[in-house]
Amino acid sequence: MFKKEPNLQIVKKALGFTLIELLVVMAVLGVLVTILLVALDPVRLIGQSRDSKRRSDLQQIKVAMQQYYNDCKVYPTDAQVPFTNPPSALGNTGNGVDGAAGTCDDGAVYMKQVPNENGGAYDYRVETVNRQSYEVGANLNYTTTDDNNTRTKCDTTIGGASDYPANTDFVVCND
């Protein structure tokens, strides 16, 4: 009487990824990210950028020191340049470079803000006898041959030997 129709099965195609496929892709991405991080070395890049800022800061201080010298014919004393505790001979607002009251330049501004070493201080040394030479030094994360040469050059400006700690890597001094 009635004809039986064969069971027609409708095959649905899967519209997603299997769990194994997702895990494989995540593992491959993890390996690629790890390789990229190792290749870029972000810690080193950050350290090098901080070193560049320190070198730049010291060059700016050098320019201000030379301007001070041109006006006063001496460099400021250690006490006049407390990088850790302005005001100083280098700053009229406590943050810059100017002459302290009673000095040869009486308020001339040479640098609006004395840079500091990431919350620390740069090392400043002046020849105490006649104040005709100075050194400002900083510690670096990654040194180069040029950095070592600055220390060698400046070691001769104040009495033939620097009184910096052994780990002061980059130094600027009067030319």
DSSP strands (E only) in the chain: 97-98, 109-111, 123-126, 134-138, 170-173
**Which pLDDT score, from 0 to 100, does residue 24 have?**
97
Nearest partner of 53 among 170, 173, 175, judged by Cα: 170
How high is the pLDDT of residue 93?
A: 39
Token pair for residue 35?
Answer: 């390789």
Q: Which amino acid is at 68?
A: Y
d(CA 87, CA 13) in angstroms, rounded, equals 77
Q: What would the CATH number be for the domain defined by 46-173?
A: 3.30.700
Q: How confident is the model at residue 6 (pLDDT cuts 50, 70, 90)?
A: low
Predicted pLDDT at 86: 39
CA distance 58 to 172: 7
Segment 41-60 shows an average pLDDT of 88
The answer to whether residue 151 scores a pLDDT higher than 60 is: yes
Higher pLDDT, 106 or 92: 106
CA angle, residues 118, 52, 50, in degrees to nearest 5: 35
pLDDT band with cut points at 50, 70 and 90 for residue 34: very high
**What counts of helices (H) and strands (E) characterise the chain?**
3, 5
Mean pLDDT for the stretch of residues 105-124 = 69
Q: What is the CA radius of gyration of the chain?
A: 31
What confidence score (pLDDT) does residue 159 get? 53
Confidence grade of residue 157 (pLDDT, cut at 50, 70, 90) = low
